[in-house]
Amino acid sequence: MAGMPRRQVLLMVAAIALLVAVLDQASKAWARGGLTPGHEVTIIPGWLWFRVASNSGATLGLGTGNNALFAVVALVIVGAIVMLALRRTVGGVLGIGSLGAVAGGTLGNLVDRLRLGGVTDFIEVRYWPTDFNLADAAIRLGVVLLLLTLLLDWTHRPRRATLGAGRER
């Protein structure tokens, strides 16, 4: 990513973020319009259900009722992602994709917080501790990809010689 022009990196991150946010908002609109509150729709028996709910907190219901705080945190996260993209410090296409996924998921949930006073969740998976949405999935996937990118960058970075290496004793 260091060899790519800043504008190109920023445009790629923005395009991925926009795609994620639009898909997220479309899926939530479908869930709010097509699912009955308090009623589960089984997709894969024993594994996957759709059930619409609103969440004014964070994952696992943490911080419920602090919608404004999480909206501010979302803006800070998006700002940090813009800075990372401008600095071109996260490597390659995988890094660009990870930043775009996190930014898009963050923006998708931010739109809900500002428009609806809470985030629309509707996906329930067996053994997963809480309901979620496409934005949440994109954020989690983006963070995992970002960590993988940083690990790959770190393992492929040339090592500096340690002090005293190569000296005879």
Residue 67, C-beta contacts closer than 8 angstroms, at least 6 positions apart? 56, 57, 113, 117, 118
Question: Is 136 among the residues known to form the active site?
Answer: yes
Q: Which residue has the tokens 């970075």?
A: 157
Calculate helix-pair angle for 92-116, 6-34, nearest 10 degrees. Answer: 40
Catalytic position from the list 24, 112, 121, 131: 121
Give the total residue count for the chain. Answer: 169
**Residue 52 to residue 12: CA distance in whole angstroms:** 32
Nearest C-alpha neighbor of 141 from the set 91, 102, 94, 96: 102
Question: Is 131 among the residues known to form the active site?
Answer: no
Q: What angle do CA 62, 68, 69 make, to 5 degrees?
A: 55
Name the helix (H) or strand (E) containing 123: strand 119-125
Catalytic position from the list 24, 112, 131, 136: 136
Catalytic residue numbers read 121, 136
